[in-house]
Amino acid sequence: MSITPAEVADKAPGLTIDGEVVTTSTVNSVINPATGEVFISVPDAGVEHLETAVAAARRAAPSWRELGIAARQEIVLRVVEVIRANIDELAMLVTLEQGKPLAKAAGEIDSGLRGLTRYASTDIPVEIYRDNNDEFIEIRREPVGVVGAITAWNYPLLLALWKIGPALVTGNTIILKPSPLTPVATLRLGELLQQVLPAGVLQVLSGGDDLGRAMTAHPGINKITFTGSERAGKSIMSGAGPTLKRLTLELGGNDAGIVLDDVDVAAMANDLYWAALSNCGAVCAGLKRLYVPAHLASEIEEALAEVAKTVKVGNGLDEGVDMGPIQNLAQLQKVRGYVDDAAACGADVYFRGEIPDGPGYFHPVTLVRGVDDTVPLVKEEQFGPVLPILTYTDIDDVVARANDSDLGLGSSVWSTDEGRAVGVANRLESGTTWVNQHPVLTSDVPFGGIKQSGLGVEQSIHGILEYTNFRVLRVKR
């Protein structure tokens, strides 16, 4: 890596409004979770900054739309080039503010770039619905206008790129608000992309919940796309009601994984482990509760512990680190509370990994068995490096237990018999069910939740079309 932490933290990025970098009189201090200390301060946008950004976005919208999709896609490919040229700096910022290992921060950005490249080659279909002697009917997709995008702290740049790409390709302008816990890399992204985007097409504002509520209610914003908790999603849905905004909400998950009794434990242990505990467990569609056959429980539990022993936890800037800290203190305390509560209820916390001495929001990799379905560790989304392992003896019973949740983002079934696994998978209530993997997300496949895990989808042509309005042209002949 040719860039150092001191170099990227030396100058705080600003807001991007109407093609200009803007500072503010108030600032937000951003903490490095590996040290627990402030490493940079960034502007804190107010309602007045939002008003200026909305006005600029609305001015830019007609000319951006009129460019046509081919020209917009060409510009999106130039966006990819700019990000690729600055990936070292952006990855460093992600690690400093989010905590994940540097290589995984670069991987997050690379995944987003693959999505942008795909969006830049995806055509928006025009459907000739009827064409006869009596009538011609054509169905087109048109941009919604101004998009307000709000992202979460677990994948700051990946989530931003998931929203930027479809919005731009379909002819919308976009105002992006990152999590106040991880605003730095996204602000820098906004600065960099002004090299290739017209003023007002992409603007980035950092701020807290008040700014998010103002975006949700603003009559000049036509759509909100949000990734975060179901609690925040419900608030956004309520706030967007008076203006009937279009919504895409990718919310929380409490994904169940079911291991069938024919599984090859040794072959699948590593995949099972990382399905649950990648990104320090902070994956919305990660495996959150694992159901295993009672007679295989000991074998599976020990196999997972053997994988866990190999995982090095530490500062994401250090060589050889597999997992960083939990991103913020509040989430660390929440995860600790889940584990303590489960233990108090009789669960066996049978594996705790090692964590570095000293400061930082580190939590050991933790495996828990002998746990009941009703404890919060199982019933709620823990979003940390903890996996509860539960047993079953009857397949109908375990399917019912897996489905007993208000959330329905993802799920998985693990087996050496594909047909049998698919049969169980088709009974699970979730937006995506994986077989022998979890979670795998690619930009060519739609991703979204059911129940209280969200509205709409992201990724693929289906996700792209979420950024459009349906328009029918009907001609009498």
The whole-angstrom distance between residue 278's C-alpha and the CA centroid of its chain comes to 13
**Residue 219 to residue 207: CA distance in whole angstroms:** 19
For 15: left if phi > 0, alpha if psi spans -120 to 50, otherwise beta; the answer is beta
Answer positive or negative: Cα dihedral of 272, 273, 277, 278: negative
Asked if residues 388 and 255 have their Cβ atoms less than 8 Å apart, the reply is no
Enumerate the β-bridge partners of residue 138: 128, 473
Answer positive or negative: Cα dihedral of 83, 85, 91, 93: negative
Task: Give me the catalytic one of 108, 230, 280, 284.
Answer: 284
- Residue 364: phi and psi, rounded to 5, are -65, 150
Q: Catalytic site residue 345? A: no
**Residue 411 to residue 425: CA distance in whole angstroms:** 8
468-to-124, 140, 173, 463 alpha-carbon distances in Å? 10, 9, 12, 10
Q: What is the CATH number of domain 255-442?
A: 3.40.309.10
Within this chain, domains 5-251+453-476 and 255-442 share the same CATH topology: no
Q: Catalytic site residue 284? A: yes
The whole-angstrom distance between residue 33's C-alpha and the CA centroid of its chain comes to 19
Q: Which residue ranges make up each domain of the chain?
A: 5-251+453-476, 255-442
Enumerate the β-bridge partners of residue 41: 29
Asked if residues 150 and 228 have their Cβ atoms less than 8 Å apart, the reply is yes
Asked if residues 99 and 316 have their Cβ atoms less than 8 Å apart, the reply is yes
- How many Cβ atoms are within 10 Å of 314's Cβ, its own excluded? 20
**Residue 273 to residue 73: CA distance in whole angstroms:** 38
Mean pLDDT over each residue of the chain, to the nearest integer? 97
User: For residue 99, how many C-alpha atoms fall within 13 Å in the half-sphere facing its CB?
Assistant: 31
Asked if residues 228 and 152 have their Cβ atoms less than 8 Å apart, the reply is yes
**Residue 211 to residue 226: CA distance in whole angstroms:** 14
Q: Going by CATH, does the domain composed of 5-251+453-476 fall within 3.30.70.2860? A: no
> What is the tens place of the pLDDT at every residue in 72-126?
999 999 999 999 999 999 999 999 999 999 999 999 999 999 999 999 999 998 9
- The pTM for the full model equals 0.96
Write down the pLDDT at residue 2.
64
Write down the pLDDT at residue 263.
97
- Residue 363: phi and psi, rounded to 5, are -130, 135
Q: What are the strands of the beta sheet with 15-17, ordered from one edge?
A: 20-22, 15-17, 202-204, 173-177, 146-150, 223-227, 246-250, 454-455
**Block means of pLDDT (10 residues each) for the chain, length 477 residues?**
71 95 96 97 97 98 98 98 97 98 98 97 94 98 98 98 98 98 98 98 97 98 97 97 97 97 97 98 98 98 98 97 98 98 98 96 98 97 98 98 98 98 98 98 97 97 97 97
Task: Give me the catalytic one of 250, 381, 458, 466.
Answer: 250
- How many Cβ atoms are within 10 Å of 433's Cβ, its own excluded? 21
3-state secondary structure the chain: CCCCHHHHHCCCCCEEECCEEECCCCEEEEEECCCCEEEEEEECCCHHHHHHHHHHHHHHHHHHHHCCHHHHHHHHHHHHHHHHHCHHHHHHHHHHHHCCCHHHHHHHHHHHHHHHHHHCCCCCCCEEEEECCCEEEEEEEEECCEEEEECCCCCHHHHHHHHHHHHHHCCCEEEEECCCCCCHHHHHHHHHHCCCCCCCCEEECCCCHHHHHHHHHCCCCCEEEEECCHHHHHHHHHHHHHHCCEEEEECCCCEEEEECCCCCHHHHHHHHHHHHHHHHHCCCCCEEEEEEEHHHHHHHHHHHHHHHHCCCECCCCCCCCCECCCCCHHHHHHHHHHHHHHHHCCCEEEEECCCCCCCCCCCCCEEEECCCCCCHHHHCCCCCCEEEEEEECCHHHHHHHHHCCCEECEEEEECCCHHHHHHHHCCCCCCEEEECCCCCCCCCCCECCEECCEECCECHHHHHHCCEEEEEEEEEC
